[in-house]
């Protein structure tokens, strides 16, 4: 199923789910690197479980979905590295993990990575052959936990990260893994960050930002997403302000989360505009890509919007619309505004949307309720991709020599000697110059 229209920025829109129009689907995760990618979501009306779909052409087309192999919903997360596809999800309160090492042709066993029957909101980060899943654990007195694997997901160990908190996420740069989670206090939902070199030993957390507590009706959106890049750089996009003036802000750290910048507003939208449930991606060149729901076009006219930063989040480009149409979102009869999001009347867009970037394109997946059937709006899964903004990167067919920082196309450091790496496409940084290199 392929729907494609060019929008403000050259984003091509594609519908991912292959379910009937009179069903709803939400809570979306995605990752695409060159041609291989995956998207996961919850089937709200069909099975109540998760579904996943794969692409082998960079998101232009999506294969038929396959169902959740480990019981029930929710919180699906998809990550891709090389020819490996990693899935993690919540199934009957277990944190399940599964991977494919051949691009989705075959799959390994379903593993209870959390080893607990009462967990919540798992999120996954990758670095070389180490995998870290950060999740909430209700089987012990410590609430934030790490499950980590040093053999690409075959075996797992677990350790406590912090004693209190919830709704965790994870990300990684060249040298560190990061765990990020909520801690509510008064009018703030504080975002706390802990770091680790190996997933097993974690630092004392630092407070990165105050997210508005107004976003926590049931079901709450996550309201934030982190990314990390290079060495010691981590940024968090989140919902700030109040329910009457929701805005997307950004904070960053350049020292591995030890200290944080002041909040940076991404747009100059007036207070009458609501910005809701953001997602953030980073490309291999360090460019940041922000997405969020936005109703600047007027009441009941929501769209997915985008902004780009080439200086680590200090300044942001003028925002443009990604979705090729507007949709009512929650502002319609029986739903109310963003503060009235609930499970009834198809008013729920999920806990989060998700974005990714490789060396060529930026990608985003989300749920919107543009489709009308029998007088009702239904939520479906959408995906968009666009060429990266100008990167000022030269391309070389081959590159000899050592002593250069070499990255994979998803931005992960892989070494300093390209002649010891497998054939493929790499990003090579030499001094203040960056090259895209084809290793033949």
Looking at the fold, whether 277 and 338 belong to one and the same domain comes out as: yes
Looking at the fold, whether 304 and 331 belong to one and the same domain comes out as: yes
For residue 27, the model assigns a pLDDT of 92
Domain-terminating residue out of 387, 408, 431: 387
Burial class from Cβ neighbours inside 10 Å (0-12, 13-18, 19+) for residue 6 reads exposed
Other beta carbons less than 10 A from residue 157's beta carbon: 13
CATH of the domain at 269: 2.120.10.10
Looking at the fold, whether 303 and 249 belong to one and the same domain comes out as: yes
Query: Is 26 domain-assigned?
Result: yes
Average pLDDT over residues 405-430: 80
Residue 77 has pLDDT above 90, yes or no: yes
Looking at the fold, whether 238 and 146 belong to one and the same domain comes out as: yes
Looking at the fold, whether 200 and 143 belong to one and the same domain comes out as: yes
Residue 29 has pLDDT above 50, yes or no: yes
140 DSSP β-pair partners: none
For residue 402, the model assigns a pLDDT of 57
- CA 262 from chain centre, in angstroms, equals 23
Query: Is 222 domain-assigned?
Result: yes
Looking at the fold, whether 356 and 435 belong to one and the same domain comes out as: no
Domain-terminating residue out of 346, 369, 387: 387
Report the predicted TM-score, pTM, of the whole model to 2 decimal places: 0.92
Measure the CA–CA gap between 292 and 319, rounded to whole angstroms.
Answer: 10
Measure the CA–CA gap between 176 and 218, rounded to whole angstroms.
Answer: 33
Which residues are CB-neighbours of 128 under 8 A, at least 6 positions away? 412, 414
Residue 391 has pLDDT above 80, yes or no: no
Average pLDDT over residues 406-418: 80
DSSP secondary structure letters along 358-420 = -SSEEEEEEEEEEEEETTEEEEEEEEEEEEPPP---EEES----EEEEEE-TTS-EEEEEGGG
For residue 1, the model assigns a pLDDT of 33
Query: Is 228 domain-assigned?
Result: yes
Average pLDDT, the chain: 89
Residue 239 has pLDDT above 50, yes or no: yes
Residue 71 has pLDDT above 90, yes or no: no
For residue 78, the model assigns a pLDDT of 97
Looking at the fold, whether 406 and 371 belong to one and the same domain comes out as: no
Residue 410 has pLDDT above 60, yes or no: yes
In total, how many domains does the chain have?
2
Looking at the fold, whether 379 and 301 belong to one and the same domain comes out as: yes
Looking at the fold, whether 279 and 298 belong to one and the same domain comes out as: yes
Residue 203 has pLDDT above 70, yes or no: yes
Residue 297 has pLDDT above 50, yes or no: yes
Query: Is 358 domain-assigned?
Result: yes
pLDDT digits (tens, 9 = 90+) for 121-134: 999 999 988 999 99
Instruction: Output the CA–CA distances (angstroms, integers) from residue 23 to 42, 188, 241, in the order listed.
Output: 11, 35, 33
Kindly state the percentage of the chain with pLDDT values over 70.
91
Q: Provide the 8-state DSSP code for 344.
A: G
Query: Is 3 domain-assigned?
Result: no
pLDDT category, 395, cuts 50, 70, 90? Answer: low
Looking at the fold, whether 250 and 127 belong to one and the same domain comes out as: yes
Looking at the fold, whether 230 and 181 belong to one and the same domain comes out as: yes
Looking at the fold, whether 347 and 407 belong to one and the same domain comes out as: no
Residue range of the domain that includes 37: 12-387
pLDDT category, 420, cuts 50, 70, 90? Answer: confident
Query: Is 216 domain-assigned?
Result: yes
Query: Is 5 domain-assigned?
Result: no
Phi, psi for 214 (deg, rounded to 5): -70, -15
User: Do 259 and 355 form a contact (C-beta atoms < 8 A)?
Assistant: no
Instruction: Output the CA–CA distances (angstroms, integers) from residue 63 to 36, 103, 200, in the order listed.
Output: 12, 13, 37
Query: Is 2 domain-assigned?
Result: no
Q: Provide the 8-state DSSP code for 3.
A: -
């Amino acid at each position: 199923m392929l729907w494609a229209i060019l929008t403000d920025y050259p984003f091509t829109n594609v519908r991912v789910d292959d379910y009937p129009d009179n069903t709803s689907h939400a809570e979306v995760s995605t990752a695409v690197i060159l041609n291989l990618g995956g998207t996961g979501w919850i089937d709200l009306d069909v099975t109540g479980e998760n579904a996943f779909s794969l692409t082998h052409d960079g998101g232009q087309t999506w294969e038929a979905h396959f169902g959740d192999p480990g019981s029930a919903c929710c919180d699906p997360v998809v990550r891709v590295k090389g020819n490996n596809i990693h899935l993690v999800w919540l199934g009957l309160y277990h944190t399940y993990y599964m991977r494919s090492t051949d691009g989705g042709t075959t799959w390994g066993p379903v593993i209870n990575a959390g080893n607990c029957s009462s967990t919540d909101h798992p999120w996954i980060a990758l670095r070389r052959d180490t995998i870290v899943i950060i999740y909430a654990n209700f089987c012990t007195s410590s609430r934030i936990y790490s499950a980590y694997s040093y053999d690409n997901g075959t075996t797992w160990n677990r350790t406590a990260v912090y004693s209190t908190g919830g709704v965790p996420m994870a990300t990684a740069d060249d040298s560190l893994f990061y765990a990020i989670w909520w801690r509510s206090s008064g009018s703030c939902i504080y975002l706390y960050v802990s770091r680790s070199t190996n997933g097993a030993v974690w630092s004392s957390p630092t407070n990165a930002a105050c997210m508005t507590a107004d976003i926590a009706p049931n079901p709450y959106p996550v309201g934030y997403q982190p990314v990390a890049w290079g060495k010691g750089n981590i940024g968090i996009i989140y919902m700030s302000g109040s329910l009457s003036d929701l805005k997307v802000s950004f904070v960053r750290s350049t020292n591995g989360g030890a200290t944080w910048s002041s909040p940076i507003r991404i747009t100059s939208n007036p207070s009458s505009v609501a910005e809701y449930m953001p997602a953030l991606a980073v490309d291999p060149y360090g460019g940041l890509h922000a997405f969020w729901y936005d109703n600047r076009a007027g009441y009941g006219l929501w769209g997915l919007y985008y902004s780009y930063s080439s200086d680590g989040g200090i300044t942001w480009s003028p925002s443009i619309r990604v979705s090729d149409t507007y949709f009512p979102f929650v502002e319609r009869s029986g739903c109310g505004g963003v503060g009235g999001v609930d499970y009834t009347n198809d008013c729920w867009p999920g806990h989060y949307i998700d974005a990714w970037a490789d060396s060529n394109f930026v990608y985003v997946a989300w749920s919107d309720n543009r489709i009308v059937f029998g007088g009702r709006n239904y939520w479906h899964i959408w995906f968009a991709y666009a060429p990266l903004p100008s990167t000022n990167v030269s391309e070389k067919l081959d590159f000899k020599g050592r002593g250069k920082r070499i990255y994979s196309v998803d931005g992960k450091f892989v070494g300093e000697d390209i002649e010891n790496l497998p054939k493929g496409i790499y990003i090579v940084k030499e001094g203040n110059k960056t090259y895209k290199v084809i290793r033949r």
